[in-house]
Chains A and B, each alone.
Chain A
Protein backbone atom coordinates (compact mmCIF):
# COMPACT_ATOMS: atom_id res chain seq x y z
CA UNK A 1 0.00 0.00 0.00
CA UNK A 2 1.47 3.33 -1.04
CA UNK A 3 1.65 5.83 1.77
CA UNK A 4 0.30 8.97 0.17
CA UNK A 5 1.31 11.10 3.12
CA UNK A 6 4.99 10.64 2.18
CA UNK A 7 6.94 13.24 0.19
CA UNK A 8 9.69 11.00 -1.18
CA UNK A 9 11.37 12.46 -4.23
CA UNK A 10 9.73 15.85 -3.78
CA UNK A 11 11.61 19.13 -3.51
CA UNK A 12 10.16 21.73 -1.14
CA UNK A 13 11.12 25.40 -1.03
CA UNK A 14 10.31 26.94 2.34
CA UNK A 15 10.56 30.66 3.02
CA UNK A 16 11.07 31.84 6.56
CA UNK A 17 12.74 28.50 7.26
CA UNK A 18 15.00 30.00 9.93
CA UNK A 19 12.39 29.76 12.65
CA UNK A 20 8.84 29.01 13.71
CA UNK A 21 6.50 27.35 11.23
CA UNK A 22 9.06 27.37 8.41
CA UNK A 23 11.70 25.63 10.45
CA UNK A 24 9.31 23.01 11.81
CA UNK A 25 7.94 22.39 8.32
CA UNK A 26 11.46 21.78 7.03
CA UNK A 27 11.89 19.14 9.72
CA UNK A 28 8.52 17.47 9.11
CA UNK A 29 8.78 17.48 5.30
CA UNK A 30 12.35 16.17 5.39
CA UNK A 31 11.28 13.39 7.75
CA UNK A 32 8.68 12.40 5.15
CA UNK A 33 11.28 12.20 2.41
CA UNK A 34 11.40 15.65 0.79
CA UNK A 35 14.54 17.56 -0.16
CA UNK A 36 14.44 21.02 1.43
CA UNK A 37 15.50 24.38 0.03
CA UNK A 38 15.44 26.47 3.19
CA UNK A 39 15.19 30.19 2.53
CA UNK A 40 15.65 32.95 5.07
CA UNK A 41 16.62 36.61 5.01
CA UNK A 42 19.10 35.86 7.76
CA UNK A 43 21.09 32.76 6.81
CA UNK A 44 22.56 32.62 10.30
CA UNK A 45 19.10 31.47 11.41
CA UNK A 46 19.49 28.43 9.15
CA UNK A 47 22.63 27.27 10.94
CA UNK A 48 21.86 24.20 12.96
CA UNK A 49 18.81 23.25 10.90
CA UNK A 50 20.77 20.37 9.38
CA UNK A 51 21.21 18.82 12.82
CA UNK A 52 17.45 18.72 13.21
CA UNK A 53 16.89 16.96 9.88
CA UNK A 54 17.00 13.17 9.57
CA UNK A 55 20.32 11.62 8.65
CA UNK A 56 20.86 11.69 4.93
CA UNK A 57 18.28 14.37 4.26
CA UNK A 58 19.06 16.53 1.25
CA UNK A 59 18.83 20.21 2.00
CA UNK A 60 20.29 23.60 1.12
CA UNK A 61 20.39 26.91 2.97
CA UNK A 62 19.58 29.88 0.76
CA UNK A 63 19.69 33.55 1.65
CA UNK A 64 16.66 35.26 0.18
CA UNK A 65 14.48 38.34 0.65
CA UNK A 66 10.82 37.69 -0.22
CA UNK A 67 10.24 41.43 -0.58
CA UNK A 68 12.79 41.64 -3.40
CA UNK A 69 11.69 40.10 -6.70
CA UNK A 70 15.18 39.48 -8.00
CA UNK A 71 16.21 37.87 -4.73
CA UNK A 72 13.30 35.43 -4.48
CA UNK A 73 13.51 34.59 -8.19
CA UNK A 74 17.21 33.86 -7.75
CA UNK A 75 16.48 31.65 -4.72
CA UNK A 76 14.01 29.58 -6.67
CA UNK A 77 16.40 29.26 -9.60
CA UNK A 78 19.19 28.13 -7.29
CA UNK A 79 16.89 25.64 -5.56
CA UNK A 80 15.92 24.13 -8.88
CA UNK A 81 19.56 24.10 -9.96
CA UNK A 82 20.57 22.23 -6.82
CA UNK A 83 17.75 19.68 -6.74
CA UNK A 84 16.66 19.54 -10.38
CA UNK A 85 13.01 20.42 -9.79
CA UNK A 86 10.56 22.07 -7.40
CA UNK A 87 7.33 20.39 -6.28
CA UNK A 88 6.30 22.29 -3.16
CA UNK A 89 6.43 25.93 -2.06
CA UNK A 90 5.65 26.86 1.53
CA UNK A 91 5.44 30.61 2.02
CA UNK A 92 6.04 30.82 5.76
CA UNK A 93 8.04 34.08 5.97
CA UNK A 94 6.50 36.50 8.44
CA UNK A 95 7.47 39.43 10.64
CA UNK A 96 6.36 40.74 13.98
CA UNK A 97 3.45 43.13 13.71
CA UNK A 98 3.21 46.01 16.17
CA UNK A 99 -0.04 47.35 17.55
CA UNK A 100 -0.88 50.84 16.42
CA UNK A 101 -4.20 52.36 15.45
CA UNK A 102 -4.55 53.26 11.80
CA UNK A 103 -4.22 56.97 12.51
CA UNK A 104 -0.91 56.44 14.25
CA UNK A 105 0.56 53.85 11.85
CA UNK A 106 3.44 55.00 9.69
CA UNK A 107 2.92 54.20 6.03
CA UNK A 108 6.34 52.55 5.94
CA UNK A 109 5.38 50.18 8.77
CA UNK A 110 2.18 49.19 6.98
CA UNK A 111 4.06 48.69 3.75
CA UNK A 112 6.74 46.59 5.41
CA UNK A 113 4.20 44.16 6.89
CA UNK A 114 2.32 43.95 3.62
CA UNK A 115 5.53 43.47 1.65
CA UNK A 116 6.67 40.45 3.69
CA UNK A 117 3.34 38.78 4.42
CA UNK A 118 1.42 39.48 1.18
CA UNK A 119 3.56 40.82 -1.67
CA UNK A 120 6.24 38.27 -0.82
CA UNK A 121 3.69 35.50 -1.27
CA UNK A 122 2.76 36.94 -4.65
CA UNK A 123 6.37 37.17 -5.79
CA UNK A 124 7.28 33.64 -4.73
CA UNK A 125 4.14 32.22 -6.40
CA UNK A 126 4.81 34.26 -9.54
CA UNK A 127 8.25 32.76 -9.98
CA UNK A 128 7.61 29.22 -8.78
CA UNK A 129 4.46 28.57 -10.82
CA UNK A 130 6.28 28.27 -14.17
CA UNK A 131 8.68 25.82 -12.54
CA UNK A 132 5.82 23.76 -11.11
CA UNK A 133 4.07 23.76 -14.48
CA UNK A 134 7.27 22.54 -16.11
CA UNK A 135 7.43 19.68 -13.61
CA UNK A 136 3.82 18.66 -14.23
CA UNK A 137 2.23 20.23 -11.15
CA UNK A 138 2.80 20.79 -7.48
CA UNK A 139 1.46 22.23 -4.28
CA UNK A 140 1.70 25.70 -2.76
CA UNK A 141 0.90 26.41 0.90
CA UNK A 142 0.70 30.01 2.05
CA UNK A 143 0.77 31.29 5.59
CA UNK A 144 -2.18 33.50 6.53
CA UNK A 145 -4.29 34.11 9.60
CA UNK A 146 -7.77 34.78 10.89
CA UNK A 147 -7.53 38.58 10.86
CA UNK A 148 -9.42 38.79 7.60
CA UNK A 149 -12.51 37.55 9.45
CA UNK A 150 -11.67 38.53 12.99
CA UNK A 151 -9.44 41.61 13.03
CA UNK A 152 -7.78 42.98 16.11
CA UNK A 153 -7.72 46.70 16.85
CA UNK A 154 -4.26 48.04 16.08
CA UNK A 155 -3.40 45.44 13.44
CA UNK A 156 -4.73 46.85 10.18
CA UNK A 157 -1.65 45.77 8.25
CA UNK A 158 -1.98 42.18 9.47
CA UNK A 159 -5.68 42.07 8.58
CA UNK A 160 -4.97 43.48 5.13
CA UNK A 161 -2.08 41.10 4.48
CA UNK A 162 -3.91 38.01 5.70
CA UNK A 163 -7.01 38.81 3.67
CA UNK A 164 -4.80 39.43 0.64
CA UNK A 165 -3.16 36.03 1.03
CA UNK A 166 -6.55 34.29 1.17
CA UNK A 167 -7.57 36.12 -1.99
CA UNK A 168 -4.36 35.28 -3.81
CA UNK A 169 -4.56 31.66 -2.70
CA UNK A 170 -8.03 31.30 -4.16
CA UNK A 171 -7.03 33.12 -7.34
CA UNK A 172 -3.94 30.99 -7.85
CA UNK A 173 -6.00 27.84 -7.31
CA UNK A 174 -8.45 28.95 -10.00
CA UNK A 175 -5.72 29.92 -12.44
CA UNK A 176 -3.51 26.86 -12.11
CA UNK A 177 -5.77 23.94 -11.20
CA UNK A 178 -5.70 22.76 -14.81
CA UNK A 179 -1.92 22.58 -14.61
CA UNK A 180 -2.05 20.27 -11.62
CA UNK A 181 -1.09 22.92 -9.08
CA UNK A 182 -2.98 23.01 -5.79
CA UNK A 183 -2.87 26.17 -3.68
CA UNK A 184 -4.04 26.42 -0.07
CA UNK A 185 -3.40 28.59 2.93
CA UNK A 186 -3.02 27.82 6.60
CA UNK A 187 -4.60 30.43 8.83
CA UNK A 188 -2.67 30.56 12.07
CA UNK A 189 -4.80 31.72 14.97
CA UNK A 190 -3.54 32.82 18.37
CA UNK A 191 -3.50 29.24 19.70
CA UNK A 192 -1.55 27.80 16.76
CA UNK A 193 1.79 26.15 17.50
CA UNK A 194 4.60 25.96 14.96
CA UNK A 195 4.72 22.16 15.01
CA UNK A 196 0.97 21.79 14.44
CA UNK A 197 1.04 24.32 11.60
CA UNK A 198 3.96 22.44 10.04
CA UNK A 199 2.09 19.13 10.20
CA UNK A 200 -0.90 20.80 8.53
CA UNK A 201 1.32 22.28 5.82
CA UNK A 202 2.90 18.88 5.19
CA UNK A 203 -0.55 17.30 4.89
CA UNK A 204 -1.74 19.93 2.41
CA UNK A 205 1.42 19.44 0.35
CA UNK A 206 1.10 15.64 0.06
CA UNK A 207 -0.91 13.49 -2.35
CA UNK A 208 -3.41 12.69 0.40
CA UNK A 209 -4.75 16.24 -0.10
CA UNK A 210 -5.13 15.78 -3.85
CA UNK A 211 -8.67 17.23 -4.01
CA UNK A 212 -8.02 20.13 -1.63
CA UNK A 213 -7.30 23.47 -3.27
CA UNK A 214 -8.27 27.13 -3.02
CA UNK A 215 -9.13 26.82 0.65
CA UNK A 216 -8.11 28.56 3.86
CA UNK A 217 -7.53 26.10 6.69
CA UNK A 218 -7.74 27.50 10.21
CA UNK A 219 -5.53 26.18 12.99
CA UNK A 220 -5.50 27.43 16.54
CA UNK A 221 -8.63 29.46 15.91
CA UNK A 222 -12.17 28.45 15.18
CA UNK A 223 -13.71 28.84 11.77
CA UNK A 224 -15.27 32.17 10.86
CA UNK A 225 -17.48 32.96 7.92
Chain B
Protein backbone atom coordinates (compact mmCIF):
# COMPACT_ATOMS: atom_id res chain seq x y z
CA UNK B 1 0.00 0.00 0.00
CA UNK B 2 1.48 3.33 -0.96
CA UNK B 3 1.85 5.66 1.97
CA UNK B 4 1.10 8.76 0.00
CA UNK B 5 -2.32 10.25 -0.24
CA UNK B 6 -3.01 9.85 -3.94
CA UNK B 7 -4.57 12.74 -5.84
CA UNK B 8 -5.36 10.56 -8.82
CA UNK B 9 -8.07 12.05 -11.03
CA UNK B 10 -8.32 15.29 -9.05
CA UNK B 11 -8.43 18.68 -10.75
CA UNK B 12 -6.23 21.19 -8.92
CA UNK B 13 -6.10 24.96 -9.42
CA UNK B 14 -2.96 26.64 -8.06
CA UNK B 15 -2.43 30.40 -7.94
CA UNK B 16 1.07 31.79 -7.67
CA UNK B 17 2.09 28.66 -9.53
CA UNK B 18 5.06 30.47 -11.06
CA UNK B 19 6.56 30.98 -7.60
CA UNK B 20 8.60 28.65 -5.46
CA UNK B 21 5.88 27.13 -3.26
CA UNK B 22 3.20 27.11 -5.94
CA UNK B 23 5.54 25.54 -8.49
CA UNK B 24 6.74 22.81 -6.12
CA UNK B 25 3.12 22.04 -5.28
CA UNK B 26 2.13 21.87 -8.95
CA UNK B 27 4.90 19.34 -9.59
CA UNK B 28 4.05 17.23 -6.52
CA UNK B 29 0.31 17.20 -7.19
CA UNK B 30 0.96 16.15 -10.78
CA UNK B 31 3.28 13.38 -9.55
CA UNK B 32 0.42 12.16 -7.38
CA UNK B 33 -1.98 12.07 -10.28
CA UNK B 34 -3.76 15.43 -10.32
CA UNK B 35 -4.43 17.56 -13.38
CA UNK B 36 -3.08 21.05 -12.67
CA UNK B 37 -4.36 24.49 -13.64
CA UNK B 38 -1.40 26.76 -12.98
CA UNK B 39 -2.20 30.45 -12.52
CA UNK B 40 0.28 33.32 -12.31
CA UNK B 41 0.41 36.90 -13.48
CA UNK B 42 3.86 36.34 -14.99
CA UNK B 43 3.50 34.27 -18.16
CA UNK B 44 7.22 33.53 -18.30
CA UNK B 45 7.10 31.91 -14.86
CA UNK B 46 4.43 29.53 -16.13
CA UNK B 47 6.59 28.65 -19.14
CA UNK B 48 9.38 27.73 -16.73
CA UNK B 49 6.98 25.60 -14.69
CA UNK B 50 5.89 23.71 -17.78
CA UNK B 51 9.45 22.51 -18.24
CA UNK B 52 9.59 21.15 -14.68
CA UNK B 53 6.34 19.16 -14.76
CA UNK B 54 6.55 15.36 -14.85
CA UNK B 55 6.18 13.66 -18.22
CA UNK B 56 2.56 13.05 -19.12
CA UNK B 57 1.20 15.57 -16.62
CA UNK B 58 -2.04 17.27 -17.55
CA UNK B 59 -1.35 21.01 -17.27
CA UNK B 60 -3.26 24.16 -18.21
CA UNK B 61 -1.53 27.49 -17.66
CA UNK B 62 -3.54 30.68 -17.21
CA UNK B 63 -2.05 34.14 -16.93
CA UNK B 64 -4.16 36.14 -14.50
CA UNK B 65 -3.95 38.83 -11.83
CA UNK B 66 -5.66 37.61 -8.63
CA UNK B 67 -6.58 41.17 -7.62
CA UNK B 68 -8.89 41.65 -10.61
CA UNK B 69 -12.22 39.88 -10.20
CA UNK B 70 -12.83 39.32 -13.92
CA UNK B 71 -9.47 37.57 -14.19
CA UNK B 72 -10.23 35.40 -11.14
CA UNK B 73 -13.56 34.41 -12.68
CA UNK B 74 -11.56 33.82 -15.86
CA UNK B 75 -9.10 31.30 -14.39
CA UNK B 76 -11.93 29.42 -12.72
CA UNK B 77 -13.90 29.35 -15.98
CA UNK B 78 -10.80 28.19 -17.88
CA UNK B 79 -10.30 25.33 -15.40
CA UNK B 80 -13.92 24.29 -15.76
CA UNK B 81 -13.80 24.49 -19.53
CA UNK B 82 -10.64 22.36 -19.74
CA UNK B 83 -11.27 19.76 -17.03
CA UNK B 84 -14.98 20.07 -16.15
CA UNK B 85 -14.69 20.91 -12.47
CA UNK B 86 -12.34 22.02 -9.64
CA UNK B 87 -11.61 19.51 -6.84
CA UNK B 88 -8.61 21.14 -5.21
CA UNK B 89 -7.67 24.79 -4.89
CA UNK B 90 -4.30 26.01 -3.63
CA UNK B 91 -5.10 29.68 -3.04
CA UNK B 92 -1.48 30.64 -2.78
CA UNK B 93 -0.57 33.81 -4.68
CA UNK B 94 1.12 36.31 -2.39
CA UNK B 95 3.69 39.09 -2.44
CA UNK B 96 5.97 40.75 0.04
CA UNK B 97 5.46 44.14 -1.61
CA UNK B 98 7.54 46.72 -3.38
CA UNK B 99 10.95 47.78 -2.22
CA UNK B 100 9.60 51.23 -1.37
CA UNK B 101 7.51 49.65 1.39
CA UNK B 102 10.01 47.15 2.66
CA UNK B 103 11.02 47.28 6.28
CA UNK B 104 8.96 50.39 7.06
CA UNK B 105 7.46 50.93 10.47
CA UNK B 106 3.80 52.00 10.51
CA UNK B 107 4.27 55.80 10.45
CA UNK B 108 6.60 55.50 7.47
CA UNK B 109 4.54 53.16 5.30
CA UNK B 110 2.64 54.71 2.40
CA UNK B 111 -0.99 53.78 1.82
CA UNK B 112 -0.08 52.67 -1.71
CA UNK B 113 2.49 50.19 -0.39
CA UNK B 114 0.00 48.96 2.23
CA UNK B 115 -2.77 48.54 -0.34
CA UNK B 116 -0.54 46.72 -2.82
CA UNK B 117 0.08 43.87 -0.38
CA UNK B 118 -3.50 43.71 0.90
CA UNK B 119 -4.81 43.55 -2.68
CA UNK B 120 -2.88 40.40 -3.55
CA UNK B 121 -2.58 38.59 -0.22
CA UNK B 122 -6.03 39.28 1.25
CA UNK B 123 -8.37 40.46 -1.52
CA UNK B 124 -6.89 37.97 -3.99
CA UNK B 125 -7.52 35.13 -1.53
CA UNK B 126 -11.09 36.33 -0.95
CA UNK B 127 -11.78 36.51 -4.68
CA UNK B 128 -10.38 33.04 -5.21
CA UNK B 129 -12.59 31.64 -2.46
CA UNK B 130 -15.60 33.48 -3.83
CA UNK B 131 -15.34 32.06 -7.34
CA UNK B 132 -13.93 28.61 -6.59
CA UNK B 133 -16.31 27.80 -3.73
CA UNK B 134 -19.31 28.42 -5.98
CA UNK B 135 -17.99 25.96 -8.56
CA UNK B 136 -17.05 23.39 -5.91
CA UNK B 137 -20.42 23.64 -4.19
CA UNK B 138 -22.21 23.01 -7.48
CA UNK B 139 -20.06 19.91 -8.09
CA UNK B 140 -20.54 18.43 -4.62
CA UNK B 141 -17.47 19.59 -2.72
CA UNK B 142 -13.71 20.08 -2.73
CA UNK B 143 -10.66 20.96 -0.68
CA UNK B 144 -8.98 24.36 -0.41
CA UNK B 145 -5.65 25.34 1.10
CA UNK B 146 -4.87 29.04 1.60
CA UNK B 147 -1.30 30.26 2.09
CA UNK B 148 -0.98 32.19 5.31
CA UNK B 149 2.37 32.55 7.09
CA UNK B 150 3.92 32.55 10.52
CA UNK B 151 3.09 36.23 10.09
CA UNK B 152 -0.57 35.18 10.03
CA UNK B 153 -0.13 33.98 13.61
CA UNK B 154 2.26 36.52 15.10
CA UNK B 155 3.55 40.03 14.45
CA UNK B 156 6.80 41.22 12.95
CA UNK B 157 8.17 44.72 13.12
CA UNK B 158 8.46 46.56 9.83
CA UNK B 159 5.97 44.29 8.09
CA UNK B 160 2.57 45.63 9.08
CA UNK B 161 0.88 45.16 5.69
CA UNK B 162 2.20 41.64 5.22
CA UNK B 163 1.24 40.67 8.79
CA UNK B 164 -2.23 42.19 8.39
CA UNK B 165 -2.76 40.45 5.07
CA UNK B 166 -1.69 37.05 6.37
CA UNK B 167 -3.84 37.41 9.51
CA UNK B 168 -6.69 38.11 7.11
CA UNK B 169 -5.94 34.80 5.37
CA UNK B 170 -6.29 32.83 8.62
CA UNK B 171 -9.56 34.63 9.32
CA UNK B 172 -10.87 34.02 5.80
CA UNK B 173 -9.99 30.36 6.26
CA UNK B 174 -12.10 29.94 9.39
CA UNK B 175 -15.12 31.69 7.89
CA UNK B 176 -14.82 29.83 4.58
CA UNK B 177 -14.57 26.52 6.46
CA UNK B 178 -17.78 27.26 8.35
CA UNK B 179 -19.60 28.35 5.21
CA UNK B 180 -18.17 25.57 3.06
CA UNK B 181 -19.03 22.75 5.45
CA UNK B 182 -22.62 22.49 4.21
CA UNK B 183 -21.29 22.03 0.66
CA UNK B 184 -18.66 19.43 1.58
CA UNK B 185 -15.86 21.94 1.01
CA UNK B 186 -12.90 21.77 3.38
CA UNK B 187 -10.84 24.93 3.84
CA UNK B 188 -7.50 25.03 5.64
CA UNK B 189 -4.50 27.32 5.79
CA UNK B 190 -0.78 26.68 5.98
CA UNK B 191 1.61 28.90 7.90
CA UNK B 192 5.11 28.53 6.44
CA UNK B 193 8.19 30.01 8.04
CA UNK B 194 11.31 30.89 6.12
CA UNK B 195 11.51 29.27 2.69
CA UNK B 196 14.60 28.86 0.54
CA UNK B 197 13.09 30.82 -2.32
CA UNK B 198 12.99 34.12 -4.11
CA UNK B 199 10.92 36.00 -1.51
CA UNK B 200 13.25 35.30 1.42
CA UNK B 201 16.37 35.98 -0.62
CA UNK B 202 15.05 39.34 -1.80
CA UNK B 203 13.79 40.17 1.66
CA UNK B 204 17.11 39.50 3.36
CA UNK B 205 18.88 41.60 0.77
CA UNK B 206 16.57 44.51 1.59
CA UNK B 207 16.99 43.97 5.32
CA UNK B 208 20.76 44.02 5.01
CA UNK B 209 20.65 47.20 2.95
CA UNK B 210 17.84 49.12 4.61
CA UNK B 211 17.09 47.87 8.09
CA UNK B 212 16.92 50.90 10.35
CA UNK B 213 17.16 50.67 14.08
CA UNK B 214 15.06 49.90 16.04
CA UNK B 215 12.73 48.07 13.68
CA UNK B 216 15.27 45.61 12.46
CA UNK B 217 17.65 44.87 15.24
CA UNK B 218 18.91 41.34 14.57
CA UNK B 219 20.29 41.05 18.10
CA UNK B 220 17.10 39.36 19.28
CA UNK B 221 17.43 36.63 16.72
CA UNK B 222 17.38 33.07 18.03
CA UNK B 223 17.47 30.18 15.59
CA UNK B 224 14.33 28.03 15.47
CA UNK B 225 14.50 24.36 16.51
CA UNK B 226 15.11 23.34 12.90
CA UNK B 227 17.67 26.01 12.14
CA UNK B 228 17.47 26.19 8.37
CA UNK B 229 15.15 27.41 5.65
CA UNK B 230 12.59 25.01 4.25
CA UNK B 231 12.79 23.82 0.69
CA UNK B 232 9.59 24.64 -1.26
CA UNK B 233 9.03 20.90 -1.74
CA UNK B 234 8.60 20.55 2.05
CA UNK B 235 5.72 23.02 2.00
CA UNK B 236 4.18 21.26 -0.98
CA UNK B 237 4.10 18.01 1.01
CA UNK B 238 1.82 19.58 3.62
CA UNK B 239 -0.40 21.17 0.97
CA UNK B 240 -0.78 17.82 -0.79
CA UNK B 241 -1.65 16.11 2.50
CA UNK B 242 -4.30 18.69 3.45
CA UNK B 243 -5.73 18.47 -0.07
CA UNK B 244 -5.98 14.69 0.04
CA UNK B 245 -8.72 12.45 1.35
CA UNK B 246 -6.38 11.47 4.20
CA UNK B 247 -7.27 14.88 5.66
CA UNK B 248 -11.02 14.41 5.21
CA UNK B 249 -11.80 15.47 8.78
CA UNK B 250 -9.48 18.48 8.85
CA UNK B 251 -11.08 21.85 8.13
CA UNK B 252 -10.85 25.40 9.44
CA UNK B 253 -7.31 24.74 10.63
CA UNK B 254 -4.06 26.61 10.16
CA UNK B 255 -1.10 24.22 10.02
CA UNK B 256 2.37 25.56 10.79
CA UNK B 257 5.31 24.39 8.70
CA UNK B 258 8.04 26.57 10.12
CA UNK B 259 10.77 24.48 11.73
CA UNK B 260 9.25 25.27 15.13
CA UNK B 261 9.56 29.04 14.84
CA UNK B 262 6.04 29.81 16.05
CA UNK B 263 6.58 27.58 19.10
CA UNK B 264 9.35 29.88 20.38
A and B are interacting partners: yes
Q: Are A174 and B260 interface neighbours, CB within 8 A?
A: yes
A210 to B241, CA, bound (A): 13
Q: Are B3 and A212 interface neighbours, CB within 8 A?
A: no
| Count, chain B residues at interface, CB 8 A | 43
Residue of A nearest to B255 (CB): A217
Q: How far is the CB of B258 from chain A (nearest CB, A)?
A: 7
Q: Are A220 and B260 interface neighbours, CB within 8 A?
A: no
Whether B247 is near chain A, meaning CB under 8 Å from some CB there, is yes
Residue of B nearest to A179 (CB): B225
Whether B264 is near chain A, meaning CB under 8 Å from some CB there, is yes
Q: Mark B201-243, 1 if CB is under 8 A from A, else 0.
A: 0000000000000000000000011110010001101100100
Q: Report B-chain residues with C-beta under 8 Å of the C-beta of A32.
A: 1, 3
Whether B252 is near chain A, meaning CB under 8 Å from some CB there, is yes
Chain A interface residue bracket vs B: 35 or more
A200 to B251, CA, bound (A): 13
Those of B31-87 within 8 Å (CB) of chain A? 31
A5 to B2, CA, bound (A): 8
Q: Report A-chain residues with C-beta under 8 Å of the C-beta of B193.
A: 211
Whether A144 is near chain B, meaning CB under 8 Å from some CB there, is no
Those of A177-214 within 8 Å (CB) of chain B? 177-178, 182, 191-193, 196-197, 199-200, 202-203, 206, 208-214
Whether A222 is near chain B, meaning CB under 8 Å from some CB there, is yes
Q: Are B258 and A211 interface neighbours, CB within 8 A?
A: yes
Whether B147 is near chain A, meaning CB under 8 Å from some CB there, is no
Q: Mark A155-171, 1 if CB is under 8 A from B, else 0.
A: 00000000000000110
Whether A3 is near chain B, meaning CB under 8 Å from some CB there, is yes
Assuming A196-B248, A200-B250, is B257 touching A5 (CB within 8 A)?
Answer: no
Q: Mark A83-121, 1 if CB is under 8 A from B, else 0.
A: 000000000000000000000000000000000000000
A interface list, Cβ under 8 A from B: 1, 3-7, 31-33, 54, 169-170, 173-174, 176-178, 182, 191-193, 196-197, 199-200, 202-203, 206, 208-215, 217-223, 225
Q: Mark B158-187, 1 if CB is under 8 A from A, else 0.
A: 000000000000100110011000000000
Q: Are B31 and A5 interface neighbours, CB within 8 A?
A: no
A222 to B174, CA, bound (A): 7
Q: Report A-chain residues with C-beta under 8 Å of the C-beta of B252.
A: 218, 221-223
Can you list 26 A-B contacts (CB < 8 A)?
A3-B2, A3-B4, A7-B3, A169-B263, A170-B260, A174-B225, A174-B260, A176-B225, A177-B224, A177-B227, A178-B225, A199-B5, A199-B246, A200-B247, A210-B234, A211-B257, A213-B225, A213-B226, A214-B225, A214-B261, A214-B262, A215-B257, A217-B250, A219-B250, A219-B253, A223-B252
